[in-house]
């Protein structure tokens, strides 16, 4: 028996898929709607527009990898499926960013956690940014639609031991907690979502809306990097976009160019990629690339007496929002507690320390339990996020300074995680910081955490959620796009991805992007077909 690969079968059956690496000549193409990027925003938009009979062309910088390429192997998955081999970093290198770069974008490699945009976030956007029509009631039907399309539902299986520790810790400390809904159908409960789903159970864009769009005659051009958008002579619209095709290694150039004419352009290259394309096109505007948020994440590891095997089983099924609600939304940063899957390569890279200490910890891998806290950035007046800028070669770089308001959240969340892990029975706990080591009691851990200097590249900070940089606004001068993702200045450009959020979401963002994308795409469909 071998596992089915419906996407590969679809391509073999004649879907309109072009691999940029295989092209020996420049490409000149045209379409009704050009969609740049195939992640949560681009994937959703493509299906809605293609089903409506529009001629859709998707362009993706990454390659088309399908389930037969997913071998549960980190060393293969990270270079093939992630931006910068899963080691993309902020400008001072203090934050490591996990972001997808393949057909399906981050949805192909995410951990399947599905949360609706929290009501307090939507209400804040209404109050603070005048986005009054984006409230929990008006957004609910779009989340319903996304959930139905992607099989988002309660996860019926027991949490794996890694998640159970979080649950037990919350119970012991009296912290509110809950179970995470997941976008899966027929999940095998393996725990390798981050390396691409080998069984096609994860309902990523790769196996849902992109095949849906391709079945409705959409086209897909892969290994093609959009360099710039092409403005029309009137300066108020676009003619299309152009860029270069990549070689089979996925990053060097194959020497051929492409140019695509389109009635409408949808920018969906993610919250670093989309602002970068606007900047390269000199269509910056004062707000482009500003206020880019990360949900900065800090981590605490515990050695448990029992086997945890945090590499096995659905990676995220328990969460706690307790500390999202213990202070005002724009007060000291709130944080959400979850757990990550623990695989050897990512753990080896993420653990602090070197030599015998870290070797000893790695050798206890089956007993390692890890909790993470993601900090809700973008609400406190001092939490302005980062800025996407271009390097000399045109590649994007996110400058995200870590400041006092963030460090305060880091220390508080370390304390919570360590206390929680001891409360759940941990033998030893170590927060990930270059001056921390294993502590055998909550009291000792607390004393150490209070002493740790809060400096970049001493504290381990990571992120898997990039948001903002092309924000929605109610007034043209305050943002980049309106509430439907329509660009304020260019009448046939929409931005439909995580870059439109005016703050961070305060929860894993995939379902927020799906909901906003569906709303924007339906609006665009009606406008283009009228």
Partner 1 sequence: MITRRQLIKTGMAGSVVLLAAGFLASPQPDLPAASQGHLVFLQTGDAQIIRSLAPVMLGMAGLALEDIVRGVDVAIANLLPAVQQELRQLFDLLGNRWGRRWLAGVHSPWAQAAAHDLAAFLQRWQQSPLLLLRSGYQALHALINAAWFGNPASWTALGYQQPQQIMGLLP
Interface ranges with partner 1 (CB under 8 A): 1-3, 68, 71-75, 78-79, 84-85, 87, 92-93, 188, 190-192, 198-199, 249-251, 311-312, 343-345, 347-349, 351, 354-360, 362-363, 365-366, 391-393, 395, 397, 401, 403-404, 407, 434-435, 454-458
Q: How far is the CB of 113 from partner 1 (least distance, A)?
A: 20
By C-beta, is 96 or 108 nearer to partner 1? Answer: 96
Closest C-alpha among 30, 476, 514 to residue 486: 476
Q: How far is the CB of 399 from partner 1 (least distance, A)?
A: 11
Task: Report the distance separating Cα 342 and Cα 304, nearest Å.
Answer: 14
Cβ distance to partner 1 smaller for residue 342 or 496: 342
* Structure letter (DSSP) for residue 158: P
How many Å apart are CA 356 and CA 414, to the nearest integer?
24
| SS (HEC) of 61-96 | CCCCCCHHHCCCCHHHHHHHHEHHHHCEECCCCCEE
What number of other Cβ atoms are within 10 A of residue 482's Cβ?
20
Q: Which is nearer to partner 1, 141 or 255 (CB)?
A: 255
Q: How far is the CB of 404 from partner 1 (least distance, A)?
A: 6
Cβ nearer to partner 1, comparing 227 with 397: 397
- The two tokens of residue 432 are 């990930």
Q: How far is residue 504 CA from its own chain's centroid? A: 12
Q: Are 343 and 471 in contact (CB under 8 A)?
A: no
Q: How far is the CB of 224 from partner 1 (least distance, A)?
A: 17
Closest approach of partner 1 to the CB of residue 49, in Å? 32
Torsion angle, CA of 107/22/392/455, rounded to 10 degrees?
30
- Which CB sits closer to partner 1, 18 or 64? 64
Nearer to partner 1, 136 or 366 (CB): 366
Q: State how far the Cα of 235 lies from the Cα of 69, in Å rounded to an integer.
A: 44
Cα atoms in the 13 Å half-sphere on the side-chain side of 437: 7
Q: How far is the CB of 351 from partner 1 (least distance, A)?
A: 8
The runs of H, that is alpha helices, within 192-343 are 209-215, 270-280
Q: Using an 8 Å Cβ cutoff, are 465 and 508 in contact?
A: yes
Closer of 393 and 477 to partner 1 (Cβ)? 393
Nearer residue to partner 1 within complex by CB, 330 or 397: 397
> Would you tell me how many other CB atoms lie within 10 Å of the CB of residue 231?
17
């Amino acid at each position: 028996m071998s596992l089915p690969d419906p996407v590969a079968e679809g391509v073999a059956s004649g879907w309109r898929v072009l691999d940029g690496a295989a092209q020996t000549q420049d490409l000149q193409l045209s379409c009704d709607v050009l969609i740049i990027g195939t992640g949560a925003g681009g994937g959703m938009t493509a299906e809605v527009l293609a089903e409506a009979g529009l001629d859709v062309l998707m362009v993706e910088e990454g390659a088309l990898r399908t389930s037969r390429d997913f071998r549960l192997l980190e060393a293969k998955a990270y270079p093939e499926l992630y931006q910068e081999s899963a080691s993309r970093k902020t400008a001072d290198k203090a934050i490591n960013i996990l972001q997808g770069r393949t057909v399906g974008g981050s949805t192909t490699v995410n951990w399947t956690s599905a949360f609706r945009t929290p009501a307090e976030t939507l209400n804040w956007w209404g109050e603070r940014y005048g986005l009054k029509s984006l409230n929990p009631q008006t957004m609910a039907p779009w989340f319903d639609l996304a959930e139905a399309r992607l099989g988002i539902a309660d996860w019926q299986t027991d949490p794996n031991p890694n998640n159970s520790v979080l649950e037990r810790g919350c119970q012991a400390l009296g912290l509110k907690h809950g179970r995470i809904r997941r976008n899966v159908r027929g999940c095998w409960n393996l725990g390798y979502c981050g390396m691409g789903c080998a069984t096609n159970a994860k309902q990523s864009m790769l196996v849902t809306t992109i095949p849906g769009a391709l079945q409705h005659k959409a086209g897909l051009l892969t290994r093609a990097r959009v360099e710039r958008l092409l403005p029309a002579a009137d300066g108020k619209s676009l003619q299309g976009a152009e860029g270069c095709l990549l070689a089979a290694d996925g990053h060097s150039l194959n020497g051929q160019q492409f140019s695509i004419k389109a009635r409408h352009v949808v920018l969906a290259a993610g919250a670093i990629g989309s602002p970068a394309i606007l900047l390269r096109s000199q269509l910056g505007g004062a707000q482009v690339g500003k206020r880019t948020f990360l949900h900065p994440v800090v981590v605490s590891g515990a050695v448990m007496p029992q086997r945890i095997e945090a590499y096995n089983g659905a990676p995220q099924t328990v969460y706690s929002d307790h500390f999202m609600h213990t202070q005002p939304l724009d007060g000291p940063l709130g944080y959400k507690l979850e757990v990550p899957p623990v695989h050897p390569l990512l753990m080896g890279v993420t653990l602090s320390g070197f030599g015998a200490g870290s070797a000893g910890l790695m050798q206890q891998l089956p007993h390692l339990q890890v909790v993470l806290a993601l900090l809700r950035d973008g609400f406190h007046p001092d939490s302005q996020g980062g800025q996407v800028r271009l390097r000399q070669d045109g590649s994007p770089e996110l400058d995200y300074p870590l400041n006092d308001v963030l460090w305060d959240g880091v220390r508080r969340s370390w304390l919570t995680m360590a206390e929680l892990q001891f409360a759940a029975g941990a033998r030893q706990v170590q927060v990930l910081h270059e001056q921390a080591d294993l502590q055998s009691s909550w009291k000792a851990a607390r004393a150490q955490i209070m002493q740790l200097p809060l400096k970049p590249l001493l504290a381990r900070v990571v992120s898997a959620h990039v948001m903002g940089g092309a924000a929605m606004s109610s007034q043209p001068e305050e943002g980049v796009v309106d509430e439907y993702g329509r660009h304020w200045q260019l009448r046939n450009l929409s931005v439909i991805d995580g870059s439109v959020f005016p703050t961070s979401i305060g929860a894993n963002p995939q379902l927020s992007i799906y909901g906003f994308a569906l709303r924007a795409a339906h609006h665009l469909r009606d406008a283009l077909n009228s």
